[in-house]
Amino acid sequence: MSRQEVADFLRHLADERELSANTVKAYTRDLAELETFLDQYLGRSDWTWGDTEVDRLALRGFLGWCGRKGLSKRTAARRLAAAKSFFRFLHREQLIEANPGRSVRGPKVEKRLPGHLAPGDIREVFDFAEREAAENRLVGTRTLLILELLYGSGLRLAELHGLDVGAVDEPAMQARVMGKGRKERIVPVTERAVRALERYSLRRADVSDRTSGPLLVNNRGGRLSTRSIQSAVRRCFEHAAGARGLSAHALRHTFATHLLEAGADLLAVKELLGHVSLSTTQIYTHTSKERLLRVYRDAHPRSR
């Protein structure tokens, strides 16, 4: 079996579609699992992607194999989606005669409502971060800036991690970020974020060049890792009961949820988040509706 087709597909994802390194790694793992299954399913390792036996039934068998391994429906659906995307590529490049994934449906997966923080929890998280920032040290001032940009501007973790000095235009109160698929967008920045950046910049200058390089730095002047960003956020989350157990990404979910609950236009929120499809943004409307339903049930005397 030639693995060149997989390598070409992964190169297409990285270079032409400009997907993130993490996304390409996920495709790599999923297709490796598909190869392992096909070795077992076909009982040989000399098969090719164009073999007639690598068909719709084989992909259905792949789904069943994932289920027998104890994988969730969501994970199995993702692996099937990776396989179908790969076969579309092979068919488009005329490397196979027919696309076996065209009519294969994945397991039905319920949309998971994103975890987010209530306004009271947000206040507790920021109160703790502001107390630490008042000590005027690199770590405390940096953590406050992280929170202000994740919640105040709705940034993804990877977008925040990739920010360089100069990406935030303080007078204009906006930032230039590189989103998924290397698509650049401009996002608003709050006054509090600008103040947090001014305070942090003084401490950042103690360990790194003030005019260039990554915005978020460690105490050696190198770019702060995503793991360190997550750790800083989670430490603040420990000080709010409703935030414990959530990841840094919950601040982006909270940004969107609070905007919609305050009456923001769905299309505007879509642009702020950098979503390609409106359907991706609409999941936040479910969160808001759940909250309204709870308020109604708790407050209206005839709701029960």
Active site amino acids: 156, 180, 249, 252, 275, 284
* C-beta of residue 77 within 8 angstroms of C-beta of residue 107: yes
In 3D space, the residue among 163, 122, 172, 171 whose CA is nearest the CA of residue 142 turns out to be 163
Kindly report the backbone phi and psi dihedral angles of residue 62, in degrees, each rounded to the nearest multiple of 5, phi listed first: -60, -40
Tell me how far CA of residue 38 lies from CA of 35, 125, 176, 211, 214, in angstroms. 5, 49, 45, 53, 44
Q: Which amino acid is at 197?
A: L
DSSP 8-state assignment for residue 142: H
Kindly report the backbone phi and psi dihedral angles of residue 176, in degrees, each rounded to the nearest multiple of 5, phi listed first: -105, 115
The CA-CA-CA angle for residues 220, 225, 230, to 5°, reads 125
| Strand ranges for the chain from DSSP E | 168-169, 174-178, 184-188
Question: Which residues 6+ apart lie within 8 Å of 168 measured at CB?
Answer: 174, 175, 189, 193, 194, 197, 215
Q: What is the CA radius of gyration of the chain?
A: 23
In 3D space, the residue among 256, 254, 251, 276 whose CA is nearest the CA of residue 266 turns out to be 256
DSSP 8-state assignment for residue 244: T
